[in-house]
Amino acid sequence: MRTTHQILPPLRPTTAKVLPPAVAAEMERLSAHPAAQLSAIREFISGPDIPTWTTDTIRQVLKDPDHLAEIAQQSFAHPNGFDSIPLENRHPTYRVRLHVWWPDAPLVTEDVHNHAWSFASRVLSGELNFKTYRESDTGQQYFHYPWRIGHRATYDSSAVKTVNLAMTLDACFIENLCYSFDLNELHRVAPVKTERPVSTLVVLGKMQRDGSDVYTENARHGAGYRLLKDPYSPSQLADRLHRYIECL
């Protein structure tokens, strides 16, 4: 698995802050020690007040036109089937995201993948089917595509190879369950569809490498990744956040 470390491209951070100041300071202090930072993220995300804190934060965003406009520029319908809404994007130290799978959205089968960062998440509503994988001499054949951040619609085709992946977990993560993954954990998720949205609060740690790994059942040579959609306008994002709160 590729673990090359390179200088990472700068991303514009949000100016508005949502994490409690003491938590934010701890995330920054621990950013040089990713394992310790992930432990601090897990401790924060598992707090009993997180569901209320999340809805209060959303209401705070809705009352602040500048914050709403700022995060709308980075909010979009993710190709994996959920709304990705960064409540705070303090890249590369930490980031805070709300992910929402709407009941009327098409069900998308994610590619097996990992990330360039470790993260912890909490299921705020609904249930998620979670599967994890590891490379194995047995199992199903997949095409391994290294993915570099900044290459929005293309894979690194020079490094494509075939590997076998064996499933190591197939479980349902229920409401209020907290979980965390380091950057190497291969996984895919799918919402358990009901009339309510499925949602998670995700806190991402410091970015530790320049990309991730994507595994597909079928070859995509020359096809590239699913194209990202345009960001939501502030009014579109406000409508979605109001709808989300009303559905809880």
pLDDT, tens digit (0-9, with 9 covering 90-100), for 203-246: 999 999 988 899 999 887 665 555 567 899 999 999 999 999 99
Q: How confident is the model at residue 7 (pLDDT cuts 50, 70, 90)?
A: very low
Closest CA to 80 of 46, 105, 53, 115: 105
Distance, CA of 185 to CA of 202 (rounded, Å): 16
Contact 19, 88 (CB under 8 A): yes
- Check if the beta carbon of residue 225 is closer than 8 Å to that of residue 156: no
Helix or strand holding residue 244 (H, E):
helix 234-247
pLDDT value of residue 90: 60
Beta bridge partners of 172: 129
Eight-class DSSP state of 13: P
Task: Return the structure tokens found at 248.
Answer: 């809880």
**Site of tokens 């991730």:** 212
pTM of this structure:
0.90
Neighbours of 176 (CB within 10 A): 13
Q: How many helices (DSSP H) and strands (DSSP E) are in the chain?
A: 5, 11
Cα–chain-centroid distance for residue 202? 6
Q: Which of 23-27, 166-170, 202-206, 208-212 has the lowest mean pLDDT?
A: 208-212
Which domains, and CATH codes, for the chain?
A: 21-247 (2.60.120.10)
Whether residue 92 is preceded by a cis peptide bond, meaning omega within 30 degrees of 0, is yes
Using the Cα atoms of residue 211, residue 133, residue 84 and residue 224 in order, give the sign of their dihedral.
positive
Q: Quickly tell me which residue has 């410091």 as its tokens.
A: 206
The tens digit of pLDDT for each residue in 29-84 reads 999 999 999 999 999 999 999 999 999 999 999 999 999 999 999 999 988 899 99
